Chains A and B, each alone.
Chain A
């Protein structure tokens, strides 16, 4: 059955409203300061480390993102891996159930717009806010690197750093879509935020190590290779694992593979020699696609549920 008019009519209005909500909300400001402070801490630590240990490295600048001192094993990337989901969840956990509970949903939907516009608008505004924050943070780190190291990044380093930024935004999108899905499924904001945070802790901290036990318990095999491959497959169900792998491939140009290394792959290889940017991208491609696909899948799931939901409180 054909509906009259565009499904996205009013999208721009919703995006602007949501953006202004995000920008002015105290919640967002707290989360941003949290990220900036932790990010800066990580970068300063990295700078200390880089200054002390690394003599010559063609990708010195990228070390800013990945290096962490032994005493404090959190690099900038690790911080993002942990804090970006927190910010995403903090932004989206009450996006739909909040409208329900404030009893604004039926009033807004009685205006000449479809539900599509409301949901898309909320998601895009969230993603845009996250992107702006991440770009600002990224520029801050680059600027700090230039200032303190006194060394300009090469073109390839900039390109790799830029891809890293893009992937971080995609990673944020996964958690944004997940939190939004829970905000549709659960009528209570507290339930939605606890479920999101629980899943975040589980997928980020527990699942990567748990996946090996799952494989050993359910598909016992004497073949180490099978077990390793299977557990790697399972651990990649976590967006944090995927993000971590992409970041390693992109920011550490010497990475040759994200899985097992076979002897055949080492034949003729110059160990420690960096890969070209294109090759690094190919190594990380499945994970990049996986992150974007997860975002789309989670959003679609929320979209379908939202379309069928009753609007009455």
Chain B
């Protein structure tokens, strides 16, 4: 493996008796990069993460984390990788610092180093004032930050974050994303998973789009945008009159026309077909009420990608 790749997965597969949830995916994460695993719930993101950590068996293929095999050398991997699980939990009766103290002991930190690092990391995530409060008084955002403090305390080379922003209010999300950026500035490579693309697109260097156990798209945010934008624009039409949908379908460059509501049509097209669409509506004798074109954001690319996949399946 090349020196600048901290995570490499080759044909990574997870089979259960009833189903294959990860189907031979390959990707790599470069040192100092923020890499996003994006996709709907149940697409195989968490399973992939657990395999990389050695917490779940790998059915086929192989993974290398910092050059270690998570199956054979899980302790070496877990010593160097910090993990923030989806909806991380803490011992509610213990204080924030006591929770960190327990994991610091499991990491094998000596007392002096331990106390120093706990104080530092709580300070860094802004939980210094509540260090001695029991965790059951903490909000969701504070718990997530405490989880990040644990990764900081570990001096991890890689931080793996599973749905770090789900269920957080906008302000807590912004704070959390800032801490993740700080991690990157410290030279930590970050692998994060999310089903909320718009929240994390600003910080991801590269993303992999998961769909049903496969990586559907992979690249930098800009590449991904171009790749999916190439498929088309969409034009929303609101018009009254008979036979409009058929006329619109006949417009050159139109790939698909959906009718999400009565008199409302959404056109998927290769190019901006507004003028042709307007002409088609008028030619059909209809009344044009509204016409707009959308330039999809990454969030919309993501949604549209899955709409396309679903649409394809409906057609088949």
Interface of A toward B, CB cutoff 8 Å: 1-5, 9-10, 13-14, 16-17, 102-104, 106-114, 310-313
Contact = CB atoms under 8 A, between A and B. Distances in A.
Contact of B56 (A1, A4, A114, A310): A310
B102 A13 contact: yes
A106 B102 contact: no
B289 interface: no
A104 B55 contact: no
Task: Identify the interface centre among A10, A13, A114: most chain B CB within 10 Å of its CB.
Answer: A13
A104 B135 CA distance: 12
B222 to A, nearest CB: 33
Contacts of A13: 102, 105-106
B259 interface: no
Interface of B: 46-47, 50, 53, 55-56, 71-76, 78-79, 81-92, 102-103, 105-108, 147, 150
A111 B73 CA distance: 13
B89 A112 contact: no
Given A4-B73, A9-B75, A312-B46, A111 B103 contact: yes
Nearest to A102: B89
B39 to A, nearest CB: 16
A81 B74 CA distance: 43
A9 B105 CA distance: 11
Majority-rule SS of B interface residues: mixed
Given A107-B83, A107-B147, A102 B92 contact: yes
Contacts of B84: 107
29 contacts: A4-B75, A10-B105, A10-B106, A10-B108, A14-B106, A16-B105, A102-B90, A102-B91, A103-B89, A104-B89, A104-B90, A106-B50, A106-B55, A106-B85, A107-B103, A108-B103, A108-B106, A110-B78, A111-B103, A111-B106, A111-B107, A112-B75, A112-B79, A112-B107, A114-B74, A310-B50, A310-B56, A312-B47, A313-B87
A106 B150 CA distance: 13
Majority-rule SS of A interface residues: loop
Given A13-B102, A102-B91, A312-B50, A114 B85 contact: no
Given A109-B55, A110-B53, A110-B55, A3 B74 contact: yes
Contacts of B46: 312
Contacts of A106: 50, 55, 83, 85
B178 to A, nearest CB: 22
Contacts of A310: 50, 56
A3 B84 CA distance: 24
Contacts of A10: 105-106, 108
Nearest to A109: B55
Given A106-B50, A110-B53, 12 more contacts: A1-B71, A3-B74, A4-B75, A102-B89, A103-B89, A107-B83, A111-B107, A114-B74, A310-B50, A312-B47, A312-B50, A313-B86
B56 A103 contact: no
A107 B89 contact: yes
Given A10-B106, A112-B108, A310-B56, A5 B75 contact: yes
Nearest to A104: B89
B86 to A, nearest CB: 8
Given A102-B89, A103-B89, A4 B76 contact: yes
Given A112-B78, A112-B107, A113-B106, A107 B85 contact: yes
Contacts of B87: 103, 313
A311 B79 contact: no
A110 B89 contact: no
Contacts of B47: 312
B174 to A, nearest CB: 24
Contacts of B147: 107
Given A2-B72, A102-B92, A106-B85, A112 B50 contact: no
B11 to A, nearest CB: 19
A103 B85 contact: yes
B48 to A, nearest CB: 12
B149 to A, nearest CB: 12
A13 B108 CA distance: 9
B167 to A, nearest CB: 13
A108 B56 CA distance: 14
A311 B92 CA distance: 20
Contacts of B107: 111-112
A110 B75 contact: no
A304 to B, nearest CB: 15
B50 A311 contact: yes
A270 to B, nearest CB: 60
Contacts of B76: 4-5
Contacts of B91: 102, 104
A3 B91 CA distance: 29
Contacts of B81: 110
A103 B53 CA distance: 17
Contacts of A2: 72
A80 B310 CA distance: 64
A25 to B, nearest CB: 8
Nearest to A13: B105
B278 to A, nearest CB: 51
B89 A111 contact: no
A112 B85 contact: no
Contacts of A111: 78, 103, 106-107
Contacts of B75: 4-5, 9, 112-114
Nearest to B91: A104
A17 B102 contact: yes
